[in-house]
Amino acid sequence: MKKNIKKSKDVLSYNNNESWVYSDVVKSHFFKPQNLLLKDPKKSEFDAEGQVGSPQCGDVMKIWIKVGPPAGGEKIKKLKWRTFGCASAIASTSMFSVMVTEKGGMKLEDALKVRPQDIMQRLHGLPARKVHCSVLCDKAFRQAVNNYFRNTAQHQRIIVDGAKIIDKNLNITDKDIESAVLDGAKTLLDVQKKLKVGVGDPSAIPEIEQLIKFYNEKYYG
């Protein structure tokens, strides 16, 4: 049990939040990224693509996927990517691409279940404030999968991101709070600083506090 706690702590933050030092696995994926798309793809090379982020916020990720065989038990046959971003963005996307394509490819349904903390675990941790970078690659992947569902006319399978509005005045959702927690927010004050939440609607504070607790336990507990 004790060992487990230690392990999960290492996943939360490499070197106690304080250092910029990346693990050797992160470094090796940064300096030698896997599954990069170097040349622009040919027409039928991939089934779908997805992109998230913007250069303003510092990270952009684009993912291309090849899926097969069709219908039901599809596996990820090929996943290629490009990233504008820092070392952890590059390394986490690289690791994600390895995870979903190794051993003949992960089932599509399983690949959609890969969580940021699973990627972090394989990377031997990331600095806490960098976690939001690795969250982006699973989002880009989900976009690509939705794009695949659309391209293959499986509209009923498209995943809709359900977001619940918590602060009506500022239009802040549970997803915003989730990403603030992934960004390192631990307390109401942290989240308020990041989102200016609660300022618009003070009655939302109890629910925000609950969500902070929930997401912190989910990702770091």
Partner 1 sequence: MKNIYLDHASTTPMDKKVAKAMAVCQAKIYGNAGSLHKAGREAKAELIKARKTIAQILSCRIEEIVFTGSGTESDNLAVLGVMRTNKSFGNHIIVSSIEHHAVLFTAESLKKVGFELSILSVNRDGIILIDNLKKTINDKTTLVSIMYANNEIGTIEPIREIAEIIKQIRQDRQNRNIKTPIYFHTDACQAAGFLDLNVQNLGVDLLTINGSKIYGPKGTGVLYIKSGVRIEPIIFGGGQEQGRRSGTENIVGIVGLTEALKIANAKIKTESVRETKLRDYFIKQVLVKIPKVVLNGSQEKRLPNNINISILDIEGEAMLLWLDKYGIYCSTGSACDSQSLEPSHVILALGRPYEFANGALRFTLGRSTTKKDLDYVLKVLPKIASDLRKISPVNVKMG
Residue 144 sits in the site that holds partner 1 (CB under 8 A)? no
> What's the min distance (Å) between Cβ of 88 and partner 1?
8
What token pair was written down for 128? 């806490």
The window from 96-104, 126-134, 152-160, 161-169 that contacts partner 1 (CB under 8 A) reads 126-134
Region of 72 on the Ramachandran plot (φ > 0 left; ψ -120 to 50 alpha; else beta): left
What token pair was written down for 86? 């820092």
Locus of tokens 């798309």 = 37
Residue 137 annotated among the catalytic residues of the structure: no
Q: Are 211 and 166 in contact, with CB atoms under 8 Å apart?
A: yes
What is the contact mask toward partner 1 in residues 65 to 104, using x (rule: CB under 8 A)?
-----------------xxxxxxxxx--------------
What is the contact mask toward partner 1 in residues 169 to 208, using x (rule: CB under 8 A)?
--------------x-------------------------
Selecting among 128, 133, 172, 177, the annotated active-site residue is: 133
| Sole binder of partner 1 in the list 19, 41, 45, 57 (CB under 8 A) | 57
Q: Smaller CB distance to partner 1: residue 133 or 204?
A: 133
Q: If you write DSSP's letter for every residue of 59-113 in order, what string do you get?
A: EEEEEEEEEES-SSS-EEEEEEEEEES-HHHHHHHHHHHHHHHSTT--BHHHHTT
Selecting among 17, 18, 57, 115, the annotated active-site residue is: 57
Whole-angstrom distance, CA of residue 109 vs CA of residue 128 = 28
Sequence-separated (6 or more) residues with CB below 8 Å from residue 173: 163, 164, 165, 166
| Sole binder of partner 1 in the list 10, 30, 107, 152 (CB under 8 A) | 30
Residues annotated as catalytic (active site), given as ranges: 57, 133
- Residues at the contact surface with partner 1, assessed by CB under 8 A: 20, 30-31, 33, 36-38, 51, 55-62, 82-90, 129-130, 133, 183
